[in-house]
Structure 1
């Protein structure tokens, strides 16, 4: 993290002031994901902020799973979330924390609120509670059960705990103010009944605390100093303070809100992401088109690129839509120095060099990385039969077209200048083969008084292996699908294209993770798909160049 940049944002100013005033001896943050899905790029922003703060101030950051909903909390999500955080390069403080660890504490504090007449057991249904709560323009009204005696509330709450009631039959509500301008403060639910087996506590409990009740108490018990959350929890802040004050707990953490991440052409709602999977628009949480950390990882994004992205978007109190080009800029900038360069042909057409013998073979040594010679070299072979990309040839000459045309010269990358002589078409009129000659005096150099501007990539037919290339575009065709109720109407049906082509044979002997294919972009091998298809498959991470609004950098 760039300290000079982050010392300017409001959260760091708050922490710096707290340290200066000696309010806290040690800074302690937490990342509290609900284990009901996989982490996405929005979570990455929170991970980055919380863990980097603890790192800069020599503090601690807890990983605490908010497992208060037994219906949705799953072990597979816990495992995945841990894996993603470790992949990003972070270590949490000591052992993993779970909200369920404090169930006894929550129950004790709920009893305390009842005894102080700050909570009551309500028998209204969910619909009735909603109707009684009112609206922004209309005040709520008291539940008929609001003024039950403390004794009766204690008896009913004990029955709730012992499984006497069915799901949704009763709940425990805070007694605050049904006429409050903040709807959240209109007697919010603190406990509800859920007779589901819990991934950690199994069938020990029939009642489970809500997020609002458990979160602030968990922060206090763990001695969190700065509880950071997105702006959507701004209204919950009043309840956060109210609960801590009424239960009279020792440690009093403070909540601070920052803008959530909104990314162009992307949805970050776990509920909506699940719908994409359910409707088979994508193939699972780790589909390379998904904004999940596992999806980005499979597509070829690196921890550094995601951290750089989080740093560049910064921290503010105002929500705004981030250009997807900024995320692409970060991974492109990272891969440019770590991805070795090879050649691949994604849309192949055969080219025959007629003034070469049939069995001609010339070895050419090329650097794997232009910027870093430590990456070594590899071999390519110049032969009579090669593949070029179909888009690099046009039958009719165009003065603006700097590729190959009939009677026009072009350079083969790392090799010679060639000149197209004639073509052969199939029965449908599609070009099947291109016949060329080469100039033997032009290996890696241009002749005097002869301008050859075009350079194209190529692969020897004999020294190549087949490969599949998966090319991606955003899942949605509109910039802000998150704000559109009919977001499924804007699915990009061309979000994935699958091409069959060729790669250099020498590539498979190299143990590289990322690849820059000349003029095509950055790619990563998809091990999952390669194993399934029994042919090496590449996912395209990002193109080589893209214009970006400098205001976002």
Structure 2
């Protein structure tokens, strides 16, 4: 076992350290147990990084286990998507890939054992009757009229349930615990329900399926999990898990709860995310606006940024909200180091350089200004170029250090130009600037001594190309969409804007999935699905700074 010295300590590590020091545990075995009923989101990433990270730092192992106990909502598509996401984040489960369905025979045998021990019974009440008899937080529940069925009758009914003799909802197997318990989870909870549905792995072999609360703890026990780490909403379920383990006399994992991730301007409910997909409010689970791991990957978020984010927010017991800007900062930190620099103009304004010495002038631009070893690329300045419309102001204030009538600006990697004439159309809109250049100022790092405060980017109108660009913003306008009567009312109508940008030729060769920095604009990723050789489609991954900070103020 290796000491956990590279990652900051937290209360979970303190518990594990104490367990190992006292000899209660001799190894660390964790698991990530998703239900294959949807795609993973950023909240799951926190659990993935925690469970796999703990196992790695203590020299143990982490299992990937699919809790596939509800065939009505589970699909192979989700299984494969989850495996891709975990692997993309940088974690390897090796040979330890498991499914709850691997244990259906054993779980059934344990249910029979509990019936024989008088700890479980078949209830024939309707779902409405069971809800009415469950009681409330202040009133005890009412015993089912079927609670005292004989062991023989329960065994017979349960076997017939298994054989498919009854329709869905006709019977249910319940644990016999305490209908007056202050913990509602211990009021004779359901263990098995009848469900005539095709299972993605077992087909129609079963028509009864274990409930999550019955299966989950036993799955951990079968796999020898030492530390069963889950979010706080399962804290009240822990006595139930412990009860099943104690009645069956099997290996007892230690459950430890931590606070789930709550991220602003986001919903974390799989049900709500599925609703967005099914209602066509987004383009799919991997829509770059979605908080899913696949959506963030397609948008261009690096796996390292998500891992850094999960480490930065830490692990605690108290619920807290994390602002989305924290995640975006982690993305920018990683991309600032990795992304090549290129020039692209999103809102083009034509500029004609009237005195350019030659039809085109060769310039050199660094691929990364802080990493000279990554080399340079050639840029050709031509008589006609495009600049950003926002880099010109006809009636500019004194501290506007970009183009304005009579003012000078430096073209990045090229030369200094002065705006001499403004051309407008019949409607009075500016359609062209005519500028003159200073031939003595050519070069990416000219030693001309000119103190020009403004530098802007540009693209040649001759050599540049137009490519589609998608400008993504936050999917929701409200910080906490779950507080709205209908979370869909908080959708941001400006979350996607599609345009075409003029780009320098080097951007034509960007591979699908590769991220570059459009200088002075932001980080953009060639869409992994829609990009074609020589014709990338760019998604905005992140701005160069938190553009929402001013909005929130």
Is the 2:510–2:526 Cα contact (8 Å) retained in structure 1? Answer: no
Q: Look up the match of 1:273.
A: 273
Normalising by structure 1, we get a TM-score of 0.95
Q: Look up the match of 2:138.
A: 137
Instruction: Quote the offset at 1:127 in angstroms.
Output: 1.4
Report which stretch shifted further, 510-519 or 262-271: 510-519
Instruction: Quote the offset at 1:95 in angstroms.
Output: 4.1
Alpha-carbon deviations, 1:26-65, whole Å to 9, x = none? 2100111100111110110010001011100110111111
Q: How does 1:352-501 map to 2 (within 5 A)?
A: 352-356=352-356, 360-443=359-442, 444-445=445-446, 447-448=448-449, 451-501=451-501
Instruction: Quote the offset at 1:81 in angstroms.
Output: 0.6
Instruction: Quote the offset at 1:445 in angstroms.
Output: 3.2
Which consecutive unaligned segments of at least 5 residues does structure 2 have? Answer: none
Q: Look up the match of 1:120.
A: 121
Is the 1:420–1:434 Cα contact (8 Å) retained in structure 2? Answer: yes
Is the 1:407–1:419 Cα contact (8 Å) retained in structure 2? Answer: yes
Alpha-carbon deviations, 1:353-391, whole Å to 9, x = none? 01126x611111221011222322111111110000010
Normalising by structure 2, we get a TM-score of 0.95
Residues in 2 aligned to 1:95 and 1:51: alpha-carbon distance in whole angstroms: 12
Is the 1:63–1:93 Cα contact (8 Å) retained in structure 2? Answer: no
Report which stretch shifted further, 523-532 or 378-387: 523-532
Is the 2:62–2:96 Cα contact (8 Å) retained in structure 1? Answer: no
Q: Look up the match of 1:314.
A: 314
Q: How does 1:270-349 map to 2 (within 5 A)?
A: 270-349=270-349
Is the 1:132–1:142 Cα contact (8 Å) retained in structure 2? Answer: yes
Instruction: Quote the offset at 1:548 in angstroms.
Output: 10
Q: Look up the match of 1:48.
A: 49
Instruction: Quote the offset at 1:299 in angstroms.
Output: 0.5
Give the SS at the match of 2:177: coil
Q: How does 1:156-171 map to 2 (within 5 A)?
A: 156-171=157-172
Is the 1:41–1:293 Cα contact (8 Å) retained in structure 2? Answer: yes
Q: Look up the match of 2:503.
A: 503
Summarize the Cα distance change of 1:97–1:489 in structure 2 as closer, same or farther, 3 Å threshold: same
Instruction: Quote the offset at 1:352 in angstroms.
Output: 0.2
Give the SS at the match of 1:528: coil
Q: Look up the match of 2:531.
A: 530
Residues in 2 aligned to 1:428 and 1:498: alpha-carbon distance in whole angstroms: 25
Residues in 2 aligned to 1:395 and 1:384: alpha-carbon distance in whole angstroms: 22
Instruction: Quote the offset at 1:281 in angstroms.
Output: 1.5
Residues in 1 aligned to 2:28 and 2:455: alpha-carbon distance in whole angstroms: 56
Give the SS at the match of 1:238: helix
Residues in 2 aligned to 1:536 and 1:8: alpha-carbon distance in whole angstroms: 43
Moved over 6 A (4+): none
Alpha-carbon deviations, 1:79-98, whole Å to 9, x = none? 11111111111111414201
Residues in 2 aligned to 1:474 and 1:466: alpha-carbon distance in whole angstroms: 26
- Aligned pair count reads 545
Q: Look up the match of 2:540.
A: 540
Give the SS at the match of 2:103: helix
Alpha-carbon deviations, 1:231-282, whole Å to 9, x = none? 1111110101000001112x11111100001100000111000111122211
Summarize the Cα distance change of 1:546–1:2 in structure 2 as closer, same or farther, 3 Å threshold: farther
Q: Look up the match of 2:87.
A: 86
Residues in 1 aligned to 2:75 and 2:503: alpha-carbon distance in whole angstroms: 41
Residues in 1 aligned to 2:167 and 2:293: alpha-carbon distance in whole angstroms: 38
Is the 1:60–1:93 Cα contact (8 Å) retained in structure 2? Answer: no
Give the SS at the match of 1:286: coil
